[in-house]
Amino acid sequence: MGREWSLEDALAGDPGLSRAACPAGYARCWTDSNGCFALSRGGRSAPDQLGAELLNFGAFMGFMGVNIAAFVRYFVRSEKKTHSGFWSPVAGFIFCLCIWLSLRTPAKIIGAAWLATGFLYGAWKTNWYRKRIEFAETSND
């Protein structure tokens, strides 16, 4: 998967490992995700509904953002307005919103608090949004 098996190498944790080591990488990702679920249960190892709902809170916020971006790109800013440019993103947004609203209240409260914390942190790091966000430098070795 990926160009020159780059995804498998990244999942295996070491670019020098062979493709046969990929199941170890997948197992590591599975273990890490279950560790996140365990944290949501106060250290118990079984995944629970709150952890899954917290994951879905963020995922559906992202999906709704993508639908808003598609609406703006393909309907609002488009020179030629089409039905599909309007209805596809609107239907996707409404579908995701319905699922997002069906989450339990504790997941919405915790997710909203986490989202607000992120916005406040971003505001603080950018001098209350007066300067650009500075991203970490990466090397392309």
pTM over 0.85: no
Whether residues 112 and 126 share a domain: the answer is yes
Whether residues 23 and 57 share a domain: the answer is no
Whether residues 116 and 59 share a domain: the answer is yes
Overall average pLDDT of the 48-63 stretch: 89
Question: What is the total count of domains within the chain?
Answer: 2
Whether residues 35 and 60 share a domain: the answer is no
Residue 140 covered by a domain: no
Residue 141 covered by a domain: no
Domain, as residue range, for 119:
48-132
Whether residues 32 and 58 share a domain: the answer is no
> How far is Cα 67 from Cα 34, in angstroms, rounded to an integer?
29
Angle between helices 49-71 and 105-125 (to 10 degrees): 60
H runs (alpha helix) in the chain? 6-12, 22-40, 49-71, 83-101, 105-125
Segment 57-116, tens digit of pLDDT: 999 999 999 999 999 999 999 888 898 889 999 999 999 999 999 999 988 999 999 999
Whether residues 70 and 14 share a domain: the answer is no
